Amino acid sequence: MTQLSLLNISGKEAVRQRLQALRRDLNLHAHRYYVLDAPILADAEYDRMFQELVALEQQHPELISPDSPSQRVGGSPLAQFETVAHTVPMLSLENAFGGDDLVDFEERLFRFLQSRTQISYMTEPKLDGLAVELVYEDGLFALGSTRGDGLVGENITLNLKTIPTIPLRLRTRDGEAAPGRLEVRGEVFIGLADFKKLNEERGKAGEPLFANPRNGAAGSLRQLDPKITATRPLDFYVYGVSDPTSLPCRNQHELLNYLGSLGFKVNPLVHLCRDISEVISRFTRLQDQRSALAYDIDGMVVKVNDFALQERLGAKARSPRWAIAAKFPASQATTRLMAVEFGVGRTGAITPVAILEPVRIGGVTVSRATLHNEDELRRKGLMLGDTVLVQRAGDVIPEVVKPVVETRTGRELPITMPTICPECGEPLIRAGQEAITRCPNPNCPAQRVRGLIHFTGKSGMDIEGLGKKAVEQLVSQGLIQDIPDIYQLELETLAALGGWGDKSAENVVRAIQASRTPPLARFLAALGIRHVGEVTAQLLAHHFGSLARLSLAGETDFLHIEGIGEQMATSLVDYFQDPTVQEMLGRLQALGVRVQEEKPDTGAGGALADSVFLFTGGLSRLSRHEAKSRIKELGGQVASGINRKVTHVVLGDNPGSKLTKARELGLTVITEDEFLRLIGR
């Protein structure tokens, strides 16, 4: 029934029918978008339907139902939260910190059961969010509360209704009745990308920053005004119910499948393990995956899978015997900000680096952390001597999150950005709206060293044996000062250096020789031109074909290439018109460096000449660098962002938000195995 047809049907029944249809369709599409990650309706059409719903409900407020999508926008502010008693306590979990603790956990189960029967387990990522309970009466969301002290929580029903991944009405098959009362438990959290954006917005508004995603989720859920909660990017994963005995499920694995069928979002990383050794392997793997996830986890929850066994094992005063939280090493800690150093990057960018009182985070001693740029420094309001919160995830460079202002003594000192380059003494500049302060001197020693490291590295010419330490040694010995010097290095000179020897010198000379005929795209990426990375270098190579044509191009020529804007075009023209660059390229040619012309149909007959690939998630059988190189060998292109020109989205482990966008655009999504077959591996 369309909106227009209502004009031809008299009475409230027509409105009621239309509202029911709109609510059904909007809830269906919201479930596909937020929970299944498989939308089939354009955003504009969803918005049109939603506006029609709101308009009809405003005209007929007596017909508003509690499961209407309009009820997610938040109600009136509350003076305070009421308390809610949990019918079954929300117990906390005991902790384990590695494989030995998990083995001990199983031994305790055996002793209690007085049997060494094989036990299977369900493992689930332990999200660093806020545990909540959702009560459904006859399929409708009726009450939501925080965990509180485990016995009594706070009534945050209106706030929880604003979260799109929490169903307002349970989904059931035709003819199937919803449970009379169902008490569902899960975790509310904020994804890392959304958390970063939220904190950036708070910083611009002069509001205090959240320390971490959990802090952000908790603060958002405890707003007295649900309309504020509705603006926060909250998400939800279900993990259980208060009493599974009333449901048609024999174990945790079946329960999660059942809850998924009711419309709840179940974490895709839940895993059924046959024994404790599989649990330990899963814990190790999840720890390795941690830094690549789109949300923060601080461990893995392990549960005895079988409900009958859970019933026999029972609970202690504060925790169930049948579950345990295997915790990862902490990713945050507090320490003291002792000093700030200012480093110079290969493009002249001045980066403030925090010098910290050494502290252990995630099993690693941290004494330095990035502060990004001057704006970030000011936004966080840091001072020398501050106690600061520092975080580290996986192999990511540690960063200072915020100062702990409550600990200030009054002896802290302001941090002053330098006005001259700490390496060469040149006055620093900050152009236009850029957040970066730069040294404009192309002959700055620090820029030259970092530029050489980039040129020889994997993102550049990939000259094996000339890594960061080797380049720094060669510069300090006065053997190289610029790129052409690399091609004048001699075997005898290198072999005589400390720590080298004949074999390593021979390998480096051979690698340098092999790099004398680079493909145009690789050479352009290696030069370190500002704003030009691997993808842009490939675009330029395909468009111009040769270094000679590229170096003579003007801004208009560059702007004709999709993906290149005014800033990048100006940077390219400035670079190739620089007399120093022209001299450098001339010297390289005189030394026998011959940059090869690039053609779209290179390698294997250009099998991927019309293909554009985008990667999301981690690859397990080859590195991202190897995958990109193979695509380019076959004449294909690699995109850095999602757009309609992408022909293949390669799905790795733990894909990010690019997958959702790809599905919205109807792009072809392939697995890693399909990709490997495509490139002949």
* pLDDT value of residue 151: 84
Per the model's pLDDT, the better-predicted residue between 636 and 599 turns out to be 636
Q: Are the C-beta atoms of residues 655 and 671 closer than 8 Å to each other?
A: no
Mean of the per-residue pLDDT values of the chain: 86
User: Is the per-residue pLDDT at 336 higher than 90?
Assistant: yes
Domains of the chain in start order, with CATH, are: 4-73 (1.10.287.610), 119-277+290-327 (3.30.470.30), 332-414 (2.40.50.140), 445-514 (1.10.150.20), 520-590 (1.10.150.20), 612-678 (3.40.50.10190)
CA–chain centroid gap for 495, Å, is 44
Rounded to whole angstroms, the Cα distance separating 200 from 32 reads: 29
Q: What is the C-alpha to C-alpha distance for residues 665 and 681, in angstroms, rounded to an integer?
A: 28
Separation of alpha carbons 71 and 167, rounded Å: 11
Segment 484-510 mean pLDDT: 94
Helix, strand and coil content of the chain, in percent to the nearest 5, comes to 40, 20, 40
- pLDDT for 600 equals 46
pLDDT in tens, 216-269: 888 888 888 888 888 999 999 999 999 998 898 999 999 999 999 999 999 999
* Residues 314-340, mean pLDDT to the nearest whole number: 87
126 included as an active-site residue: yes
407-423 mean pLDDT: 94
**Least confidently predicted of 196-210, 343-357, 663-677:** 663-677
CA 609 to chain CA mean position, Å: 30
pLDDT at 187 over 50: yes
Reported in sequence order, the residue ranges of 537-635 that DSSP labels E, i.e. its strands, are: 612-616
Q: Measuring CA to CA, which residue among 540, 559, 538 is closest to residue 550? A: 540
Is the pLDDT assigned to residue 7 strictly greater than 70? no
Give the best-scoring range by mean pLDDT among 93-102, 204-213, 493-502: 493-502
Residue 607 has pLDDT above 80, yes or no: no
What integer is the mean pLDDT of 328-342? 88
> How confident is the model at residue 601, as a pLDDT?
40
Decide if 572 contacts 553 (C-beta within 8 A): yes
Name the catalytic one among 12, 126, 469, 645. Answer: 126
Looking at residue 31, its pLDDT comes to 67
Judged against a pLDDT cut of 90, whether residue 640 lies above it is answered with: no
The pLDDT assigned to 678 comes to: 77
Query: Residue 300, Cβ neighbours under 10 Å: how many?
Result: 26
Mean pLDDT computed over 632-661 = 77
193: tokens are 């990308």
Q: Mean pLDDT, to the nearest integer, of 639-647?
A: 77
Residue type, 242: S
Q: Running DSSP on this structure, what letter comes out for residue 349?
A: B
Residue 45 pLDDT level (bands cut at 50, 70, 90)? low
Residue pLDDT, tens place only, 279-288: 999 999 998 8
Angle at 195 between CA 70 and CA 219, to 5 degrees: 70
pLDDT band at 39 (very low <50, low <70, confident <90, very high): low
With a cut of 60, say whether residue 8 has pLDDT above it. no
What is the reported pTM?
0.52
43 confidence band (pLDDT: 50, 70, 90): low
Strands (E), 2-104: 83-85, 95-96
Task: Please check the confidence at residue 34 and state whether its pLDDT lies above 70.
Answer: no
Percent with pLDDT over 70 in the chain: 90
- Which of 41-50, 83-92, 209-218, 349-358: highest mean pLDDT? 349-358
Residues 130-178 have pLDDT tens digits of 999 999 999 999 999 998 878 888 899 999 999 999 999 998 877 788 8
